A and B are shown apart, each in its own frame.
Chain A
Amino acid sequence: MTAAARRTDRGDVEHGYRYVEAWGMAEGAYGRVFLPRNVEQIRAALLHARAAKVPIGLRGTGNSYGDASMNSDGFVLDISRMNRILDFDAETGIAELEAGVTVRDLWRHILPLGWWPRVVSGTSFPSMAGIAAMNIHGKNNFAVGTVGDAILEFDLVLPNGELRTCSREENADLFHAAIGGFGMLGVFSRIKLQTKRIHSGNLRVHAHANRDLRELMDYFEEHKGSADYLVAWIDCFAKGDALGRGAIHRANYLKEGEDEHPERTLTLAHQDVKPNLFGVFPKSELWRPLRLLNNDPGFRFVNTVKYHTGRLEALQEPHTWTHNEFSFLLDYIPNWKWSYGRRPGYGLIQFQPFVPNDAAHDVYCEILRRNQAAGFVPYLGVFKRHRPDPFWLTHAVDGWSFAMDFKVTPRTRDALWKHCAELIELVLDAGGKFYFAKDLVLPAGVAERMFPADKLEAFVRLKRELDPDELLQTDLWRRVFAGVR
Chain B
Amino acid sequence: MGAALVKRLANDGWNVAALARRQDALDELAAACAEAPGRVVVRAHDVHDVADVPDLFEELVRELGGLDMILYAAGVMPAIGEQEYDTVKDLDMLAVNTSGCIAWCNPAADLFRTQRRGTIVGISSIAGDRGRKGNPVYCTSKAAMNTYLEALRNRLGDFGVHVCTIRPGFIDTAMTKGMDGLFWLISADEAAKRILSAARSKANVRYVPFRWLWVGLVIRHIPSFLFRRMTI
Residue numbers of A with Cβ under 8 A of B are 2-4, 6-7, 14-21, 28, 30, 32, 284, 335, 342-344
Contacts and interface: CB of A to CB of B under 8 A. Distances in A.
A300 B173 CA distance: 62
Interface in B57-78: 57-58, 61-62, 66
A20 B114 contact: yes
B110 interface: yes
A344 B107 contact: no
B50 A16 contact: no
Given A2-B50, A3-B50, A30-B66, A16 B111 contact: yes
Contacts of B110: 16-18
Contacts of B58: 15, 17, 32
A456 to B, nearest CB: 34
A335 B160 CA distance: 13
B12 interface: no
Q: Interface residues of B toward A: which range?
A: 10 to 19
Contacts of A335: 158
Contacts of B54: 14-17
B70 to A, nearest CB: 12
B49 interface: yes
Contacts of A2: 50-51
B50 A4 contact: yes
A342 B160 contact: yes
B94 to A, nearest CB: 12
Contact of B111 (A19, A21, A28): A19
Contacts of A6: 51
A281 B156 CA distance: 20
Given A335-B158, A342-B116, A342-B160, A4 B51 contact: yes
Given A30-B66, A335-B158, A342-B160, A18 B114 contact: yes
Nearest to B106: A16
A4 B54 CA distance: 10
Interface hub of A17, A18, A30 (most chain B Cβ within 10 A): A17
B114 A3 contact: no
A4 B61 CA distance: 21
A19 B158 CA distance: 16
A21 B114 contact: yes
A341 to B, nearest CB: 10
Contacts of B61: 17, 30
Interface string B148-160: 0000000000101
A18 B58 CA distance: 9
B51 A18 contact: no
B147 interface: no
In the A-B complex, list the 8 residue pairs whose CB atoms are closest, starting with the nearest.
A3-B51, A19-B115, A17-B58, A19-B114, A18-B114, A16-B110, A4-B51, A342-B116
